[in-house]
Amino acid sequence: MYEELKKEIVDVLKFMEIKGLNHGRSGNVSVRIKGVDHVLITPSGLPKASLSTEDIVVVSMSGEVIEGSRKPTVELPLHTAIYASYNYFNAVIHAHPIYVTALAIAREPLPPVIEEAVLYVGGEVRVAEYAPFGSRELAENVVKALEGRSAAILPNHGVVTCGKNLEEALEVLVLVERLAQSYILSKMLGKITKPPDEVIKYLSELFRRRVLSLE
């Protein structure tokens, strides 16, 4: 089932590796199929850039394996918690890009220093409260950090980005990593500025309308 979507997941994983957005066995990707209680998700413990469509697992929202011989990623609770909480998200990417991970280690949020950060992410990328990877506590903490946003930083870990489809979730990931790089470089220059408050407010409203329209 879902051969085209499985191929899209595999292609995204290869793109992420090539572009330095993820590496090795880390990270995971999922797509939710509305109406049938199915989630396509990457398996545990394998190099992500070398996966094939046969490696992608189909599970229910309760975590039951419906199709596939692999074990789903340990971060399955994170993905299903996001889908259960936010009906407008149908794709989730968890990755470990260098610059966002640097902020994760520092446990420092990523402020909306460029306009696109508000328009496509919703504003500041918050840092979730710490919990061990793969835990339900981490899933709950990330859900809270994602409120009104399409991305959240996982402390000492990486980042989660979401979208109405996999293309949009990947677009958010690319934007957040470039934003993190620009932010860190600006800090090295010794000065950080943000768009005017009225611009942030206007773009935040546009983001909310776009997200809510997906329900």
pLDDT in tens, 148-205: 999 999 999 999 999 999 999 999 999 999 999 999 999 999 999 999 999 999 999 9
For residues 10-24, average pLDDT:
97
Q: pLDDT confidence of 140, banded at 50, 70, 90?
A: very high
Amino acid at 153: I
Whether 83 shows a pLDDT value over 90: the answer reads yes
| Whole-number pLDDT of residue 76 | 97
User: Strands, DSSP E only, in 115-183?
Assistant: 151-154, 158-163
Q: Which domain holds residue 81?
A: 3-212
Specify whether 75 is catalytic.
Answer: yes
In this prediction the pTM is: 0.95
- What's the whole-number average pLDDT of the chain? 95
When divided into structural domains, the chain yields a total of 1
CATH of the domain at 176: 3.40.225.10
- Catalytic one among 75, 124, 168, 177? 75
Phi-psi region of 181 (alpha: psi -120 to 50; beta: other; left: phi over 0): alpha
Nearest to residue 132, comparing CAs of 110, 151, 155, 159? 155
